[in-house]
């Protein structure tokens, strides 16, 4: 129960932050990505703030074995940059640039009733299913 309440609280704060910052608005995101046109740099401050918070949060988390709620820490085990990571990052960036959504803001916009977000989330889920099918097939052949 404690885990569910903390996850709900963290998700609520994250969703509200995305709404307040404009990250759930695809037009604002696309304006930020349009560096050759009418560039809107305001999201750079949002991202800079998120990177700063994340930097210190991960620095603290790496020194701990348990979370503040007493749960085991589950941090990424690898820091290797490989072809799959680069290709996945390029696909993520292309999708973000085309749709104006990434997963978190897409879910927030879906919750707000945006039709474009429903298409994005459905496509995102389809991509996850396809990825899992490919990975499952790949594991069987190894």
DSSP-assigned beta bridge partners for residue 66: 72
Can you spell out the DSSP letters for 15-49?
HHHHHHHTTT-HHHHHHHH-TTSS--THHHHHHHH
* pLDDT tens, position by position, 58-77: 899 889 988 888 888 888 88
Structural domain that includes position 56: 2-141
- Dist CA 128 CA 89 (whole Å): 14
Q: Which region, left, alpha or beta, applies to residue 108 given φ > 0 means left and ψ of -120 to 50 means alpha?
A: alpha
pTM score: 0.73
Structure tokens at 74: 């589950």
Instruction: Work out the average pLDDT over 107-131.
Output: 91
Structurally, the chain folds into a number of domains equal to: 1
State residue 55's pLDDT score.
Answer: 95
pLDDT tens readout for residues 6-60: 889 988 998 898 888 888 888 888 888 888 888 888 888 888 998 999 999 989 9
């Amino acid at each position: 129960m404690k885990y569910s309440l903390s996850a709900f609280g963290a998700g609520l704060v994250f969703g509200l932050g995305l709404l307040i910052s404009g990250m759930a608005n695809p037009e604002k995101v696309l304006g930020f990505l349009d560096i050759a046109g009418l560039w809107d740099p305001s999201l750079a401050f949002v991202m800079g703030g998120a990177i700063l918070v994340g930097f210190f949060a991960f620095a603290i988390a790496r020194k701990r074995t348990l979370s503040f709620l007493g749960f085991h820490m589950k941090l990424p085990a690898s820091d290797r940059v490989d072809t799959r990571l680069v290709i996945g990052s390029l696909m993520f960036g292309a999708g973000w640039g085309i749709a104006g959504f990434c997963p978190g803001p897409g879910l927030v916009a879906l919750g707000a009733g945006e039709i474009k977000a429903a298409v994005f989330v459905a496509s995102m889920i389809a991509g996850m299913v396809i990825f899992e099918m490919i990975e499952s097939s790949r594991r069987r052949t190894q």
